[in-house]
A and B are shown apart, each in its own frame.
Chain A
Amino acid sequence: MTARPLVSVFSLTGDKTGEVTLPMVMTSPLRPDLIQFVHTNMNKNKRQAYAVNIHASKKVVAQSWGTGRAVARIPRVGGGGTSRSGQGAFGNMCRGGRMYNPSKTWRRWTRKTNLKQKQQAVASALAASAVPSLVMARGHLIDQVPELPLVLENALEESTTKTSAAKTILQAVGALADVEKAAESKQIRCGKGKMRNRRYTLRRGPLVIYKSKEGGVEQAFRNLPGVELCCVDRLNLLQLAPGGHMGRFILWSQAAVEALDKMYGSEVGQKRLPVSCLTNADIARIINSDEVQSIVKPVKPGQFDFAPKRNAVKNTDALEVLDPYAAAKRRQQAELEAARATKKDELRLKKREERQARRAQHKEEGQAFFAKVSAQGDVCADGFKIE
């Protein structure tokens, strides 16, 4: 990438104040595999050792009774007088025995990762943070952010001391949605972690990267839920790609962005920039470009363009090719159905009319009978005779 675009710098009230060139790091190749690898390794480095007691279950004098006693051959506690005597000991299957393969403190807790790998992973993560799609896909709410990468003027780190001021800055820049999302997501952790000083879980919000913390940035932003702070000189992959997924939402200060250009380069003391094997990864574009198409041989004539297969179960024309009898049968059935359908409607109407006529007739008869009978007077007086 030779021509590097300009990134706008925003004031603390959200208006565009200036411009910076995009740092070279932000154009490094995206390497999700590398980031995942380095992340899994780096994640193990803060672990504290745990192990079972070295004497666990060993403080027993136990010997196997051997064969011939009609019991299993596991070592059993000697002596007498307690219920413990005669019980099995020393096995992972025994109650009060040691566990299988007792955990040791000299387990390899940390992982070494090659320096180059770590540096390239960080570079890739920084590049990913400049792609809005990736940041959105990671789950940050950045719909109101005016530009990515989001760079704020130096006053961010120089003169922001109060958290309330920090909040208004984030609001002005459209980053508060992410912070609020983190705030809403605070839950008590599931599992035993809650009694081990890890009581709450929280989503990650924006990462604020500054050059110098003299102005009090840290104090201003650190209490906001989800917000993390980082100095440019010590970028941490665990913050840039939490969970091994790249695309953290980052808020830069102008000084920090400018420092990035000085940090990465090919001179002595600078961090190496990863080199991609493809400078232009848009393969479709390359194939369709003029340079390639002008050399490509013309299409071979007489190539068969096969029509898509038609399903004989659904398509009667396709069935005809396979089994004309069945196709004719199906068509005939379809016609019959159609005829039946129309006929059905007619029949229904006709039946309805007949029914209604009958009903009307019955009603008439009934009424006539009633009239006659009422004229007659008391029908049941004389033994129910109707004249």
Chain B
Amino acid sequence: MQSDDMIWQVLNHQFCSFKTTIGKALSDKQHFCRHPYSVTGLCNRTSCPLANSKYATLREEDGRVSLCIKTVERAHSPKNMWEKIYLSRNYSKALAQIDEHLQYFPKILIHRNKQRLTKIHQYLIRMRKIELKVRSGRKAKLVGVHRKVEQREERRERKALVAAKIESVLEKELTERLAKGAYGDIYNFPESPYQKALQTAEDKQEETEALSDEEEEDEMESMVEYVEDLDSEEEIEDEEDMEDMADYLGDGQWGDRHDNSDEHGDEDDDDGDDNDDDKDEDSASRKSDYDNLDERKRTAAQNKRNNRKKGPRIEIEYEEEREDQIQPSSSA
């Protein structure tokens, strides 16, 4: 007389003694149904044995599986509500029986019952295996749950998730890709971040232009000289302390301060062996000396050479005309 929907409304929003929950946070909450005749164990509109007048489950007692069917005609009589049909012990035959008895039931229900049958058969097999093992002498292994351990691991997982900073790493990666142009040209960007990104890109471009201008100047001034140390003549001029500049200049080559004033920015490979040796020696002390350098003294040109350094060794020929070559080291 009262429809299923009404009953479900009451049970779901008011109180059902068979409903249990796991999960403290509202986002993790999962509802389960403790009713002995529930097909799935979950608390759903479609899985509720109380809120569906047409329902079917499988129950297993002592290894015998029975199909329990509930229909509207018997909904008022709790004693006779469930019609119990014992199924065959053969799995495929039982499946066929389910199909036969639940012929006019909704397909989802049939499917769920079959799934339940499968699960039941699986655990019965497992039970038999364990029993055989136990009888053959090997004791059944019971692994306990250590609440402290579990909670500790959970806590650590949460902290690791936070520490991973997944979103910021992703953001960096994606912006990098965007800067490199991996995504083509046309996109829908939000206005202000786009402008900001444009600004920074423009600034960088200005920097590189300034750099190339500086380099051109350098090359103009410098004479043709095969010297051991390269790059950064001006910077070395400015340097006061021998110690600071001691080891490293440019591409790991020894810098002779006094000769640097007339040197040009390009690298020479004639001192190949020396360069190699020096490089090996210098690589260790490179970083520390560079740290000591005055920030002012380190120009953009030097930074640029830093970056270039990481690339492969470049063999460059010195040429008179330099206006064409803005980034001489890029030819390799």
Q: Which A residues fall within an 8 A CB radius of B? A: 1, 5, 22, 26-27, 29-30, 32, 36, 127-128, 130-134, 136-139, 142-148, 174, 243, 245-246, 280-285
Contact = CB atoms under 8 A, between A and B. Distances in A.
A245 B50 contact: no
A31 to B, nearest CB: 9
A136 B36 CA distance: 12
B14 interface: yes
A148 B76 CA distance: 6
A362 to B, nearest CB: 32
Given A132-B81, A136-B50, A245 B5 contact: no
A138 B81 contact: no
B103 interface: no
A32 B5 contact: no
Given A139-B17, A245-B15, A145 B79 contact: yes
A243 B7 CA distance: 18
A285 B18 CA distance: 27
Given A1-B1, A27-B1, A30-B2, A137 B11 contact: yes
Contacts, number: 85
Contacts of B79: 143-147, 174
A277 B14 CA distance: 21
Interface string B291-322: 00000000000000000000000000000000
Contact of A282 (B3, B14, B80): B3
Contact of B77 (A30, A134, A146, A243): A146
B78 interface: yes
Nearest to A285: B3
A137 to B, nearest CB: 4
Max chain B CB contacts within 10 Å: which of A27, A136, A282? A136
A138 B5 contact: no
Contacts of A282: 3-5
Interface in B23-48: none
A96 to B, nearest CB: 42
A138 B78 contact: no
9 tightest A-B contacts by CB?
A133-B50, A282-B3, A139-B17, A137-B16, A245-B15, A32-B14, A146-B79, A281-B3, A147-B77
A375 B17 CA distance: 86
Interface of B: 1-7, 9-11, 13-18, 50-51, 75-81
Given A144-B78, A147-B76, A148-B78, A30 B10 contact: yes
A320 to B, nearest CB: 18
A32 B75 CA distance: 21
A245 B14 contact: yes
A352 B316 CA distance: 59
B80 A127 contact: no
Contacts of A1: 1
B101 to A, nearest CB: 22
Nearest to A127: B2
A140 B81 CA distance: 16
Contacts of B15: 137-138, 243, 245
A144 B80 CA distance: 8
| Chain B interface helix/strand/loop/mixed | loop
B294 to A, nearest CB: 46
Contact of B2 (A36, A131, A243): A131
Given A139-B17, A146-B77, A134 B5 contact: no
B128 to A, nearest CB: 29
B6 A281 contact: yes
A148 B75 CA distance: 9
A243 B78 CA distance: 24
A164 to B, nearest CB: 24
Contacts of B7: 30, 131, 133-134
B81 A281 contact: no
A218 B9 CA distance: 36
Contacts of B9: 30, 32
Nearest to A31: B10
Given A30-B10, A132-B77, A139-B17, 7 more contacts: A30-B6, A133-B50, A137-B15, A145-B77, A148-B77, A148-B78, A246-B14
A27 B1 CA distance: 7
B78 A143 contact: yes
Contact of B10 (A145, A246, A280): A246
A36 B17 CA distance: 17
A36 B51 CA distance: 21
Contacts of A26: 1
Contacts of A22: 1
A277 B50 CA distance: 24
Nearest to A283: B5
B6 A137 contact: no
Contacts of A143: 78-79
B12 to A, nearest CB: 10
Nearest to A130: B1
A143 B81 CA distance: 9
11 contacts: A30-B6, A30-B7, A133-B11, A136-B17, A137-B15, A137-B18, A145-B79, A245-B14, A281-B5, A283-B5, A284-B5
Contacts of B75: 132
A280 B10 CA distance: 16
Contacts of A30: 2, 6-7, 9-10
Contacts of A148: 76-78
A54 to B, nearest CB: 42
A369 to B, nearest CB: 39
Given A32-B13, A137-B16, A137-B18, A132 B6 contact: no
Nearest to A147: B77
A138 B51 contact: no
A326 to B, nearest CB: 14
A36 B14 CA distance: 9
A109 to B, nearest CB: 27
Max chain A CB contacts within 10 Å: which of B2, B11, B81? B2
Max chain B CB contacts within 10 Å: which of A1, A29, A132? A132
Contact of B78 (A5, A136, A280): A136
Contacts of A284: 5
Max chain A CB contacts within 10 Å: which of B13, B17, B79? B79
